[in-house]
């Protein structure tokens, strides 16, 4: 397995350090943000923000979310759905929140992790 294949395999796993965060624009919804390396963050910041590249931003950042349709069915977190079905407002909010969270730029509410969670104070920027 070469380096890029290993990196892709690692992205598919949701580590114990993945964190659920709330979205300011959608208070009842949460996203599970994958932990990423600084290198990955820098590469993501280089991607042009347009509708054709949304999946390139979503896939490495977001492992899961709680968004549902009008019937209460969970919206799929899949490339086809991101490109064709899910409203851009949802995708944009999720990407912005995840990028702010992983880069340390945002003060997004901490919801918890899939494993032992650090305290919310450890994720807030000092005043």
Q: Are 88 and 51 in contact (CB under 8 A)?
A: yes
Q: What is the pLDDT of residues 60-96, one digit of tens each?
A: 889 899 999 889 999 998 888 888 888 888 988 898 8
Q: Where are the beta strands (DSSP E) in the chain?
A: 19-23, 26-33, 62-65, 110-113
Cβ atoms < 10 Å from Cβ of 44 = 18
- Model's pTM, two decimal places? 0.66
- The DSSP output letter for 109 is P
55 has a pLDDT exceeding 50: yes
Q: Mean pLDDT across the stretch 24-48? A: 85
Q: What is the pLDDT of residues 11-31, one digit of tens each?
A: 555 667 788 998 888 989 999
Which among 72, 110, 76 is positioned nearest to 90, based on CA atoms?
A: 76
Q: What is the pLDDT of residues 2-12, one digit of tens each?
A: 666 665 555 55
108 has a pLDDT exceeding 50: no
Q: Are 68 and 77 in contact (CB under 8 A)?
A: no
């Amino acid at each position: 397995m070469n380096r890029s294949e290993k990196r892709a395999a690692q992205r598919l796993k949701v580590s114990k350090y993945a964190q659920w965060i709330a979205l300011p624009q959608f208070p009842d919804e949460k996203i599970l943000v994958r932990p990423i390396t600084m290198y990955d963050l820098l590469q993501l910041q280089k991607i042009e923000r347009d509708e054709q590249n949304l999946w390139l931003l979503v896939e490495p950042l977001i492992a899961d979310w709680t968004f549902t349709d009008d019937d209460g069915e969970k919206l799929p977190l899949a490339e086809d759905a991101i490109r064709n079905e899910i409203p851009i407002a949802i995708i944009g909010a999720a990407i912005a929140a995840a990028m702010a969270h992983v880069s340390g730029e945002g003060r997004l509410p901490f919801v918890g992790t899939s494993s032992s969670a650090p305290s919310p104070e450890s994720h807030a920027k000092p005043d």
